[in-house]
Amino acid sequence: MKEERKRVAIIGSGIAGLASCHILGEKYDVTIFEREATLGMDSQSISIPPCTSRVDVPLRIFNPRFYPLLTKLYTSTAVSFAPCSSEFSSSWITKEKGVAGYFKYSNLSIGKLGIPYFSLNLSPMNWLTSKHKYRPSYLKTLYSTVLHSVSLFRFFLFSPFYIGARSALGMKPTTLGQYLKGGLVPYPKAFIYDLLYPMLSVVCTCSYSSLDAYPAKTIIEYYNTYGILTWFPNPLRTRLQYGGAHCRVTEGINSVCEKLSKRATTCVFNSNVTEVVPGEKPLVVSGDGSSREFDYVVVATQPHHASALLPQAKPELLDALKQWKYEHSSVYVHRCDSLMPSRECDWSNVNIMVGPRTTGLDGSQCSIWLNRLDDSIPKDVYQTWNPAFKLEDEKILKYAEFTRPVVTMDTEKHCKVVKENQGSGGVFLVGSYSRFDMPLLENAVKSGKEVGEILDVKF
């Protein structure tokens, strides 16, 4: 007689919930509870006719070499994806528009290789033909570009040694802010605030003050393992590797979600779960007061939502979840050219705009030129994270808010508590936040894989 499959509830269907569904669905009977009307990863996406597929909001890119598990998940569920250029430019934001971009990073895609290079964007012709009100001297522009490039190489090349040596000597871990601004030869402020932090604030979707408090190790290891650093010979690695091109999914995000959730027996939408009661048969309590019993429950929400769902969890777990730091931010899909760099020659796929340091802005703005990444999207549609200016209402196609966990010096401790409590009372926690690493898609899939291993499913 066929043995009845054990029942697993997954609360939340962002990438962590969907990955868990695919992994656990191989052996278990999976029910997804999602408070939105569609699968969570698709809940903010938008249709922009005549483009037929739904556009991801926020637009999430990945790199197969740095995201091996996400790539495996997409490949094994037949999600299509293709390389896209991750070139970016940095420009100033000022009230009197028209200040030139000051840095451009490009990525030459040859087959599966993505070869990075810094375009100095300093062609004398570009500079001479600039009609802008404020035009810094050519020498000043040249100086700042050289300064940025040298500092970037210094950061990429030497930081891993510094961090490695500190840890080998048993020294106290340091924050990114302390590492960059302290020491015998601090990094130039211009490099920190005009290039590195704007770039990192986009990768981590957070403010500069949160970056100051990020563990230096987390950021440096991210670049050492994943980024441009892998281009350089480094005794901390055994071989020289090449950064592959970044990729994006090429089908609508709704279709991606459908494929990832295929193994779910049931998806309950508009279902705001209010409590998960741990126990031999953990209970899922919904907003309407109904409750259902499962063999296991996987809570795949953000940490602050998980703490609200688990009032009966062990106090140390509740404490850790409540203390997790996160930041809110907003994303617009729109047609306002005014949020793009003022000179068209500075436009890139990704356009980082930085407020002058004197204004004390605590973050950058980032606009993605959507139809440059996907030519099926109508012309001149942009997606802007953290806009510095008010957008014209009639040009807004979509507004969405997100919360994203921020890594601090306490995060490692909190992740340890999560790990020690996995499975207690039949309840597991997954999410891009839940493992001590950068809170990106790959970490969310890894968290699902780890729960799979505990529940005897290999991925």
Ligand X SMILES: Cc1cc2nc3c(=O)[nH]c(=O)nc-3n(C[C@H](O)[C@H](O)[C@H](O)COP(=O)(O)OP(=O)(O)OC[C@H]3O[C@@H](n4cnc5c(N)ncnc54)[C@H](O)[C@@H]3O)c2cc1C
Residue 203: closest CA among 221, 184, 222: 222
Residue 60 or 281 with smaller CB distance to ligand X: 60
Residue found under tokens 């005897």? 456
Minimal distance in Å, beta carbon 356 to ligand X?
A: 24
Minimal distance in Å, beta carbon 441 to ligand X?
A: 3
Minimal distance in Å, beta carbon 431 to ligand X?
A: 3
Which residue's Cβ has the minimum distance to ligand X? 40
Minimal distance in Å, beta carbon 1 to ligand X?
A: 35
351 bridge partner residues: 89, 367
Residue 426 or 431 with smaller CB distance to ligand X: 431
Please write down the HEC assignment for all residues of 144-200: HHHHHHHHHHHHHHHHHHHHHHHHHCCCCCCEHHHHHHCCCCCCCHHHHHHHHHHHH
Tokens of 447: 């968290």
Minimal distance in Å, beta carbon 101 to ligand X?
A: 22
Question: What's at 432, amino acid-wise?
Answer: S
Residue 84: closest CA among 254, 259, 333, 250: 250
- Helix (H) or strand (E) holding 89, with range, is strand 88-92
Residue found under tokens 């995201």? 67
CA distance 40 to 51: 21
Residue 71 or 302 with smaller CB distance to ligand X: 302
**Most distant CA pair in the chain: distance in Å?**
82
Minimal distance in Å, beta carbon 288 to ligand X?
A: 12
Residue 100 or 381 with smaller CB distance to ligand X: 381
Residue 334 or 343 with smaller CB distance to ligand X: 334
DSSP for 197-224, written as a single string? HHHHHHHHT--HHHHHHSBHHHHHHHHH
Residues lying near ligand X in the complex (CB under 6 A): 11-17, 33-36, 40, 43, 58, 60-62, 205, 271-273, 300-302, 305, 309, 331, 385, 402, 404, 431-432, 439-441, 444
Residue 40 or 425 with smaller CB distance to ligand X: 40
Residue 328 or 390 with smaller CB distance to ligand X: 328
Residue 63 or 89 with smaller CB distance to ligand X: 63
Minimal distance in Å, beta carbon 88 to ligand X?
A: 12
Q: Are the C-beta atoms of residues 153 and 234 closer than 8 Å to each other?
A: no
Minimal distance in Å, beta carbon 46 to ligand X?
A: 14
Alpha helices by DSSP H, listed for 226-335, are 253-260, 303-309, 315-323
